[in-house]
Amino acid sequence: MSADGESFDDAVAPGRVVPVYAVTGGRTRSDATELPMESLVMATDQVPSEEIQAEYQQILEMADQPVSLVEIGSVLQVPVGVARVLVSDLAGAGYVAVHRPEPRNRDGRPHPAVLERLLEGLRAR
């Protein structure tokens, strides 16, 4: 069992040749501050000067529009913890900007403004 609660049998996603822990060099935590799973990621204007790993390239392509860590993990078919590490690497290099969710109230509940925006988004669908 890994630190993220993932069994090692599940470490290779269907259709994936390289185990997910190899994608991050065996890291299960990012070097930066912990990123909440609902953080939004957007690409910056900075472009990598050299060829980068395929997963990083895919994240940069997805991040042309705001995309959450959960969506990144889903598209890459990796656990959210792995997506956090990859996004943290890109943020550290200046290739993406990470927008964290608004802080919660003292009681742990989201601010009413956040809930209202969520409700508006759901109604718009």
pLDDT tens digit string along 55-74?
Answer: 999 999 999 999 999 899 99
Q: What single-letter amino acid sits at 86?
A: L
| Domain boundaries along the sequence of the chain | 29-124
Q: Give phi and psi for 85, each to the nearest 5.
A: -60, -45
Spatial contact of 86 and 30, defined as CB atoms under 8 Å apart:
no
E strand or H helix at 20: helix 20-23
Amino acid 81: pLDDT:
86
pLDDT tens digit string along 13-43?
Answer: 555 566 666 776 777 666 666 788 788 999 9
Q: What average pLDDT score do residues 103-125 get?
A: 76
- Return the SS3 of 93: coil
The highest-level CATH class for domain 29-124 is mainly alpha
pTM above 0.85, yes or no: no
